[in-house]
Chains A and B, each alone.
Chain A
Amino acid sequence: MPHRIEAAKATVTSLAGNGANIVAVASAATGLTQQLNQTHPFLYLDLPIWLFFAAAVILSMMGSLVSLFVDLMATPPPSPARLAINLVLGFLTGIIGAFVILPSVTAAPPMPLLLLTALSMSLLGTVIVRNIGEVLRSAELWQSIKTIIKDVIIEALEVAKKIAIERWKLFLALIFGGHSK
């Protein structure tokens, strides 16, 4: 019998602990709702903070939709699947810019800055994502980038070689007293 009593005790304590956990989680959630309801002044209004977060999400969507009117996206119109991928990635760039990059690079971002970041980052993110895709997809563009880099390196090496030879001549002239030509 005593072992059964022990088991019952253990069950009861574990149940109680579980209940305490649930209560703790619930209190944390109420803490979160309290935090989300704290107000920030904006345009002489004291608005709750969740409103700003929702506005940032909506502005990210707007930024990626507005990018449909940019020349790059408008002419020629891409296929619907590629367009959808571009818009979703632009939206995600806006969200990441507003909620990940901005808090990590600035110490105290005010709420209007968050909204501006969400709008601009989603717009420019759509354009940049599309351009990166374009470069990765088109063999010709990739080849031209490689050629440019190669040409620049070769040119720099040639300039360096020329300068080195001239300096070496000057050095020799200095040492042996010849004329530098």
Chain B
Amino acid sequence: MSIYTLLDWRFINLAVPFIGLISCAYLFFSRKTCTKRVGVSTAVALSLMFWLMLTWADWGSLSFVASYQTMWARVILLVISLLIAYELRYYTRLSRFLRAKNNQLQLEKKQLHAIIHRLETQLTHKDESK
């Protein structure tokens, strides 16, 4: 198969839904993207469904005719879903970073409280000794 066959618009038209299916599966199973929220997981599941339905149109339908325009529409849909996946990944990383920082700050706050308490007790002891 030469590079010209791979870059033929019909081939791209057939290949894009499978790339979309793989990207959705990656979103579901990757540890670096959090799809725990109800809205996000429903959206990913439904996008899995629409990529699946595009394969139905390609391989199972007798009336659907692919064209240059459907190829471009699919490529743009793929780009949009990849951008959304990238954003999701970024916000997952951000929220993990912020949670780690928050835990660290909580720990420091506890330690500071302990130090202040110790100092206060020492001061009161000094006052009593005077």
Q: Do A and B come from one complex?
A: yes
- List residues of A whose CB falls within 8 A of some B CB: 69-72, 75, 102, 105-110, 112-113, 116-117, 120-121, 123-124, 127-128, 131, 134-135, 141
Tell me whether A113 and B59 are in contact (CB under 8 A).
yes
Tell me whether B62 and A128 are in contact (CB under 8 A).
no
Since A102-B56, A120-B52, A128-B45 are in contact, a sample of 16 more A-B pairs with Cβ atoms closer than 8 Å, ordered by chain A residue number, is A70-B29, A71-B28, A72-B35, A102-B60, A106-B61, A108-B62, A110-B59, A110-B60, A113-B60, A117-B56, A120-B21, A120-B49, A121-B52, A123-B48, A127-B45, A131-B45
Tell me whether A135 and B38 are in contact (CB under 8 A).
yes
Rounded to whole Å, the gap between the CB of B45 and the closest CB of chain A is 4
With A107-B62, A120-B48, A124-B48 known to touch, is A72 a contact of B56 (CB < 8 Å)?
no
- Please give the number of chain B residues whose Cβ is less than 8 angstroms from any Cβ of chain A in the complex: 22
Contacts of B35 in A (CB 8 A): 70-72
The residue on A at minimum CB distance from B61 is A106
Tell me whether A106 and B56 are in contact (CB under 8 A).
yes
Tell me whether B38 and A131 are in contact (CB under 8 A).
yes
Tell me whether B38 and A71 are in contact (CB under 8 A).
no
The residue on A at minimum CB distance from B37 is A72
The residue on A at minimum CB distance from B47 is A124
B95 at interface, CB cutoff 8 A: no
Partner of B41, one of A102, A108, A127: A127
Rounded to whole Å, the gap between the CB of A6 and the closest CB of chain B is 58
Docked pose: A75 CA to B92 CA in angstroms: 15
- 6 nearest A-B residue pairs (beta carbon): A106-B60, A124-B45, A109-B60, A107-B62, A127-B45, A72-B41
B42 at interface, CB cutoff 8 A: yes
Q: Which of A72, A102, A105, A113 has the most CB of B within 10 A?
A: A72
A-B contact pairs, 11 of them (CB 8 A): A72-B41, A105-B56, A106-B61, A108-B62, A109-B59, A110-B60, A120-B48, A121-B52, A124-B48, A127-B28, A127-B41
The residue on B at minimum CB distance from A125 is B45
Contacts of A116 in B (CB 8 A): 52, 55
Rounded to whole Å, the gap between the CB of A166 and the closest CB of chain B is 34
CB under 8 Å from chain A, chain B span 51-105: 52, 55-56, 59-63
B34 at interface, CB cutoff 8 A: yes
Contacts of A72 in B (CB 8 A): 35-36, 38, 41
